């Protein structure tokens, strides 16, 4: 032992190469040690839920910064870094995620994207919501601007997923969840969407309630287009139900005597009240136009097109609004079609016959009152009469053989007179027309069948 | 420490071999030894460094380098002790033979 002490006084020269060796070891190993410890610390925290985790290693000292979602989670995260082999000290810079009060989450949809904003309670629910938005909205860009915060109400994920489902039913709008109160605003994508959203909101988890639901329905649109070239009437848009649908198509068939009705209507809820009562007279006004478009959007009726003559334009502009139910608005942009070239009386006769072969002037049963459905037909007859200003025209009334001959005679005369009155009101000179009643003396077909009788009840225009 | 030993066994073995060589030479070396006073001061310095290492008061990389130095130095001393003892044993065995 004494020898060892004696020899040790001569060990000092080796310290010089030892220091050199130490310098080399320190120079070459520091970065390796730091990288190794950082990797081990990150591995130790692999299963711990943290936000903004940052680990930096200086020598063997680990600086650990992170936002934890609970105090327990924070302490266990620090402890798991402390027990990583090789770690000398842990500089604990961890904090708790800030608590949001009130806890607000929102989903906003505009033309191009859906933006998720506000707070989410955990990274897992944040990614779950983003994924659900991407999956549920099919191709719409999803922008995730959610921050993380504590203080979410219970069953937040379920509620947020349900609300996210509703954003798909909106064209644009915003759904906000403030603690457990839901606010909705915007415009539904389709008719019935507003009602579907309201129904789905009944499934919100217990404790959640709706503070405001300001979702608007898209306009309820019905359109009719009269095309004089294709000789069609195209109906598009929505009708409240199948009964109204059938009634509208039937009314269009009566009013548009020569056009083929193209029916592209769809039944949908959400119609304004008095829909059929407004649309039927509006179709009547459209039938009087040479070419025109009828657009019914919610309670606003817009009619545009060309009337056949001046007086008709005035009647269409002023007359229609009066028939409408309360609260409906009417806008007419009716111009007058340029007058057609004058023609010989013989051509006029041909035109009259042609028009009257396609449709008939109809009267109330047993009376001399012209039904409103015949307005379009009469306008065509008036336009034709204007093209041969020098011709005198006999307006001949005919009946079937039902009832007394004297009564039929009188009815045919009154009906012929009613037509002449109508023509005069339209601006034609009264002296050009001679109303004559023939009763049932000039039948076109046998009076034995209903079909034959219907053919015999008629008004004829004869150019003299 | 165990992790450091497994991680840097090469450098530590180097320090121990260096110590072994120095210890081997020291037995027959005629150089001036360190005085007792100096030895005390150096021992005190060593104790202070060891205390600083255990108290972990030296931060960051310097703390790591200090630990590394102390381990290498400790192994050097162990190497020296083994080297000197072996050399002494070899020398004392050969003397009666001569």
pLDDT digit of tens for each residue in chain A (464 aa)?
Answer: 567 777 888 888 888 999 999 999 999 888 988 999 999 999 998 888 888 889 999 988 999 999 998 889 899 999 999 999 888 899 999 999 888 889 999 999 998 899 999 999 988 999 999 999 998 887 889 999 999 998 889 999 999 999 999 998 898 999 999 999 999 999 998 888 888 899 999 999 999 999 999 988 888 899 999 998 889 999 999 998 899 999 999 999 889 988 899 999 988 887 888 888 889 889 999 999 989 999 999 889 999 999 999 888 888 888 777 778 888 888 889 999 888 888 888 999 999 999 998 888 999 888 889 988 898 999 999 999 999 888 899 999 999 888 888 899 999 999 999 999 999 988 899 899 999 999 889 888 888 888 888 888 999 999 88
- The pTM score is 0.63
Q: Does B71 touch chain A (CB under 8 A)?
A: no
CB-CB under 8 Å, A7 with B88 = yes
Instruction: Output the pLDDT for position B94.
Output: 77
Question: Which positions in chain A touch B77 (Cβ < 8 Å)?
Answer: 11
> Using the beta-carbon criterion (under 8 Å), do A9 and B39 form an inter-chain contact?
yes
Tokens read off for A47 = 């299963």
Q: What pLDDT does residue B98 have? A: 41
d(CA A387, CA A385): 5
Percent of chain B with pLDDT strictly greater than 90: 45
> B22 and A11 in contact by Cβ < 8 A?
yes
Q: For residue B4, is pLDDT > 70?
A: no
- Between CA A137 and CA A127 the distance in angstroms is 15
Which residue matches tokens 């059938």?
Answer: A246
Kindly provide the residue ranges of all beta strands, DSSP E only, lying in A217-288, ordered along the sequence. Answer: 221-227, 232-239, 260-267
In a 10 Å sphere around its CB, with 0-12 CB exposed, 13-18 middle and 19+ buried, how is residue A256 labelled? Answer: buried
In chain A, which residues have their Cβ closer than 8 Å to the Cβ of B19? 11, 14, 18
Nearest to B46 by CA among B74, B19, B21: B74
pLDDT of residue A269: 81
Task: Give the C-alpha separation, A462 to A440, whole Å.
Answer: 17
d(CA A26, CA A247): 95
Which residues on adjacent β-strands are paired with residue A115? A108, A143
Of the candidates B19, B61, B80, the beta carbon closest to that of A58 is on B61
A150 in Cβ contact with A123 (< 8 Å): no
């Amino acid at each position: 032992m004494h020898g060892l002490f004696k020899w040790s006084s001569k060990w000092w020269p080796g310290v010089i190469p030892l220091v050199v060796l130490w310098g080399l070891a320190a120079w070459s190993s520091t970065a390796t040690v730091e990288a190794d410890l950082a990797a081990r610390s990150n591995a130790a925290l692999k299963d711990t839920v943290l936000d903004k985790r940052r680990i930096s290693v200086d020598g063997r000292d680990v600086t650990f910064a992170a936002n934890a979602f609970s105090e327990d989670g924070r302490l266990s995260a620090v402890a798991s870094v402390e027990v990583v082999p090789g770690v000398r000290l842990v500089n604990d810079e961890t904090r708790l995620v800030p608590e949001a009060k009130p806890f607000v989450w929102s989903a906003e949809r505009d033309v191009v994207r859906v933006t998720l904003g506000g707070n989410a309670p955990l990274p897992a629910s944040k990614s779950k919501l983003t994924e659900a938005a991407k999956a549920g909205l099919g191709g719409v860009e999803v922008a995730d601007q959610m921050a993380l915060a504590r203080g979410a109400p219970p069953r937040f994920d379920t509620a947020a997923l349900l609300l996210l489902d509703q954003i798909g039913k909106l064209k644009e709008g915003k759904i906000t969840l403030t603690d457990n109160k839901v606010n909705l605003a915007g415009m539904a994508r389709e008719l019935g969407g507003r009602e579907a959203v309201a129904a789905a909101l009944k499934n919100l988890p217990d404790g959640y309630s709706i503070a405001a639901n300001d979702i608007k329905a898209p306009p309820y649109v019905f359109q009719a287009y009269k095309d004089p070239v294709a000789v069609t009437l195209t109906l598009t848009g929505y009708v409240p139900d199948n009964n109204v649908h059938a009634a509208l198509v039937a009314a269009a068939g009566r009013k548009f005597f020569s056009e083929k009705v193209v029916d592209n209507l769809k039944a949908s809820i959400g119609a304004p009240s008095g829909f059929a009562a407004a649309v039927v007279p509006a179709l009547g006004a459209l039938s009087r136009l040479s070419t025109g478009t009828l657009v019914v959007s919610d309670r606003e009726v817009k009619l545009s097109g060309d009337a056949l003559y001046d007086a008709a334009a005035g009647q269409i502009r002023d007359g229609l609004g009066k028939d409408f139910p309360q609260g409906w608005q009417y806008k007419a942009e009716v111009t007058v079609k340029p007058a057609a070239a004058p023609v010989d009386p013989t051509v006029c006769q041909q035109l009259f016959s042609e028009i009257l072969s396609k449709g008939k002037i109809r009267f109330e049963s047993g009376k001399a009152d012209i039904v409103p459905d015949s307005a379009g037909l009469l306008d065509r007859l008036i336009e034709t009469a204007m093209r041969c200003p020098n011709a005198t025209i006999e307006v001949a009334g005919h009946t079937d053989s039902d009832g007394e001959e004297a009564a039929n005679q009188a009815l045919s005369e009154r009906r012929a007179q009613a037509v002449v009155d109508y023509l005069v009101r339209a601006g034609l000179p009264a002296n050009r027309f001679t109303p004559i009643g023939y009763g049932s003396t000039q039948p076109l077909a046998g009076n034995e069948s209903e079909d034959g009788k219907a053919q015999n009840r008629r008004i004829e225009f004869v150019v003299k | 420490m165990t992790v450091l030993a497994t991680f840097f066994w090469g450098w530590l073995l180097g320090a121990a071999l260096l110590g072994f060589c120095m210890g081997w030479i020291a037995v027959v070396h005629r150089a001036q030894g360190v005085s007792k006073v100096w030895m005390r001061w150096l021992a005190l310095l060593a104790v202070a460094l060891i205390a600083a290492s255990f108290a972990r008061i030296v931060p960051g990389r310097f703390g790591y380098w200090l630990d590394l130095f102390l381990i290498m130095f400790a192994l050097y001393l162990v190497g020296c002790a083994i080297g000197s003892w072996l050399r002494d044993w070899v020398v004392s065995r050969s003397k009666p033979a001569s």
